[in-house]
Amino acid sequence: MSGGSGLAEREGLPRLGRRPSFTGYVRSLGAHRHLTTELARSRFRAANEDNRLGMAWILLRPLLNALVYGVIFGLLLRSDTRPDNFVPFLVLGVFVFQFFAGCLADGAKSITGNLGLVRTLHFPRAVLPLSVVIQQVLALGPMMAMAAVVVLVFGEPLTWRWVLVVPALGLMTLFCTGVALVAARTTLHVRDVQQLIPFVSRLLFYISGVFFSVDRIGLPAAAEVVAQVNPVAVYITLVRSGLLTEVSASPAQWALGAAWGVVGFVVGSVFFWRAEEEYGRV
């Protein structure tokens, strides 16, 4: 075998399944961009096609979640701790959090749920978690359009700050891409992690300021700092700061959002790429 391997190397024949260089891997992903986008579109269309209301559930599901949480926490929270203009505040929190939760949960299943495809076809495996993120972006578009309607209906003005939503969601997409890549590789090697994802997602939901304002509920100083640097909470605040006049984001929060996005994307990309040879063997 060693002689055959040496001969193959001398003849310039690459080993099947060998991990390419990182730059080569990125080029390969670019060459497979049409596969990535088509996978995302097909799954986006298929996600609700069996339901009577079809694609309407993309909006109805998060709206119903916001309604349930609004009724529960609107009653439980004291009026002095409840954020101003609570309905759009809550709707934006739920919609933005759902984007993160979808990338995490579906990213974790992107390899394990497509092992037949992974074992039979040759393509960069990052195509699968990347297509999950694109699918979530496609769902996020209509949700943000609906959120904009809710914001206007509840009296918020249309201002130049609305454009800040674009970079905020762009940075969040970078971060969520890293999360999906990390979750995809981790779940492949330790399948039990997939069972923990719903609990992690639920915990983050309750500590990310989806239905409350961190500076109003009287957290201890250390807990408040942790809550404010939580990346999901940071991105929710950045989006709200564009659409709600009562919410503002400091330059430090924008810097933190940029840092989380870049670091998350780079770490996730390298972490996933380093196991490229292993995905088809599990």
Give the start-to-end residue ranges of the domains of the chain. 20-281
Confidence of residue 11 (pLDDT cuts 50, 70, 90): very low
pTM (two decimals): 0.85
Whether pLDDT at 144 is above 80 = yes
DSSP-derived letter for residue 54 is G
Cα radius of gyration rounded to whole Å, the chain = 21
Whether pLDDT at 7 is above 50 = no
Write out pLDDT tens, residues 218-271.
566 666 677 778 999 999 999 999 999 888 889 999 999 999 999 999 999 999
Distance from C-alpha of 256 to C-alpha of 265, rounded to nearest angstrom: 14
**How far is residue 220 from each of residues 67, 155, 207, 223, measured CA to CA in Å?**
29, 33, 14, 5
DSSP-derived letter for residue 124 is -
Mean pLDDT confidence for 172-199: 92
Length of the chain equals: 282
Whether pLDDT at 166 is above 90 = yes
Phi-psi region of 84 (alpha: psi -120 to 50; beta: other; left: phi over 0): beta
pLDDT of residue 237: 93
Distance from C-alpha of 88 to C-alpha of 242, rounded to nearest angstrom: 12
On whether the CB atoms of residues 16 and 113 are closer than 8 A, the answer is no
**How far is residue 183 from each of residues 76, 107, 167, 201, measured CA to CA in Å?**
34, 6, 24, 12
Q: Is the dihedral of CA 258, 96, 176, 228 positive or negative?
A: positive
Q: At CA 165, angle to CA 160 and CA 167, rounded to 5?
A: 110
Whether pLDDT at 125 is above 70 = yes
Mean pLDDT confidence for 122-137: 93
Whether pLDDT at 14 is above 80 = no
Write out pLDDT tens, residues 16-71.
556 788 899 999 999 999 999 999 988 887 766 655 555 666 777 777 777 776 66
Residue 77: phi and psi, rounded to 5, are -75, 135
pLDDT of residue 248: 87
Distance from C-alpha of 173 to C-alpha of 259, rounded to nearest angstrom: 13
pLDDT of residue 70: 65
